Structure 1
Amino acid sequence: MKNTLFSLLLILTASIGMLAQNSAAKQEIIQLSKDKWQWMADKDANKLSQLFHEKSVFVHMGGSWGKDREVNIIKGGMIHYKKADIHSVSVNIIDSTAILLNRITLLASVGGNEVTNPFEVTEVYVKQNGAWKLGSLSFTKLNTTN
C-alpha cells in the first residue's frame, strides 16, 4: 500500500512539474510572438534576423519566401507591419516545436499603400540549443475582423 501511494504521489508530482514547464514555455512563446510584432513594427531587422531560423519560411497573400528575403523586405520597407491588434492567441507545444495561432487585425503598408486586414497567423517555433527560433510564419486572410 505504501509503495502504491508513493508511486502515485511521484507520478502526480512529475505530472504537475511537466504542466508547469509546458505553461512556462507557452508564456515564453506568447511573449516572443508579441516581441516579434513589435520588432516588425520597428523594422528591427537585426532582432528579427536573430529570431528567424536559417531555414524559416514566410507565407503571405502575395507569395512565399525564406529568411533573407523577409528580413530584406522588412528592412527596405516594402512591407511595414505597423500594428498588429491581437484578438486571440493559442499555443500548442509538441516536443521541441511550438505552434502559435494569432487572430489579428494587421495595419501595414504594402508597396506604399496602407492596408488593414484580418488574419489568422500561424507561427511555428522550434527550440534549438535552448532558444526558440521562428521556423514558419503564415498569414491566412479572414472574411471577418473577429
Structure 2
Amino acid sequence: MKKHFFIFTLLLFSVSFTFAQSSTEQEIEKLSMDKWQWMADKDVAKLEKLFDDKAKFVHMSGSWKKDRELEIIESGSIWYKKADVHDTAIEISGNTALVWNRITLTAHVRGNDVENEFTVTEVYQKQGEEWKMLALTFSSVRDTHEIEH
C-alpha cells in the first residue's frame, strides 16, 4: 500500500510540475495581458516603453512600425476597446519569448464598433532587466481555432 501511495504521489507531483508555468512565462503572460489593457486605455506612455524602437505591427489593413502604432492608438483611429483572451500559449527560448493569444477583439474603427476573432502573435526580447516587444501580428481566424500547446 505504501508503494502505491508513493507512486501516486510521485505521479501527481510530476503532472503538476509539467503544467506549471515558469516564473518567466508568468511574467510574460502578465505583460501581454497588461498590454491589452494599456491599448484599451490608450496609454501610449506605457506602450512606448514596452515597444522596441524597431518593433513591427501587422494588422488586417497593413503593417507599420512603432511610431505609427502609437499614433494610431493615441488618435483613436483604431481603439482597441476590449480583447477577450480565450487561450494563451507561451514559449521561451533564451532571451526571446513568443506569445500566442486567441482573442475576440472589440475595436472602434472608422466610426464603427467591430468584433473580430484573431490569433495574435507577440515576440518579446529581454533587454537588460526589461522585456521589449519586437513584433505583434494579428491573424484572422475562426472562433473555433485552437492554439496548439
Normalised by the length of structure 2, the TM-score is 0.82
Aligned to 1:87: 86
* 1:61-96 C-alpha deviation (Å, 9 max, x unpaired): 000000000000000000000000000001000110
Aligned to 1:100: 99
Aligned to 2:66: 67
Q: Distance in 2 between matches of 1:72 and 1:127?
A: 25
Distance verdict in 2 for CA 1:44–1:80, change over 3 Å: same
Partner amino acid, structure 1, of 2:48: S
**Gap regions ≥5 residues in structure 1:** 1-18
Partner amino acid, structure 2, of 1:115: V
Report the identity percentage.
Answer: 55
Shift of 1:145: 5.3
Q: Distance in 2 between matches of 1:110 and 1:145?
A: 24
Partner amino acid, structure 1, of 2:22: S
Shift of 1:143: 2.3
Q: How many correspondences in the alignment? A: 126
Partner amino acid, structure 2, of 1:134: M
Q: CA RMSD in A?
A: 1.4
Partner amino acid, structure 2, of 1:77: G
Task: List structure 1 segments (4+ residues) > 6 angstroms apart after TM superposition.
Answer: none
Partner amino acid, structure 1, of 2:31: L
Is the 8 Å Cα contact of residues 118 and 145 (structure 1) preserved in structure 2? no
**Gap regions ≥5 residues in structure 2:** 1-17
* 1:39-81 C-alpha deviation (Å, 9 max, x unpaired): 0000001100000000000000000000000000000000000
Q: Distance in 1 between matches of 2:59 and 2:116?
A: 12
Q: Distance in 1 between matches of 2:22 and 2:44?
A: 29
Query: What SS is found at the alignment partner of 1:73?
Result: helix
Shift of 1:126: 0.5
Normalised by the length of structure 1, the TM-score is 0.83
Query: What SS is found at the alignment partner of 1:71?
Result: helix
Q: Distance in 1 between matches of 2:79 and 2:144?
A: 20
Partner amino acid, structure 1, of 2:40: A
Q: Distance in 2 between matches of 1:44 and 1:140?
A: 24
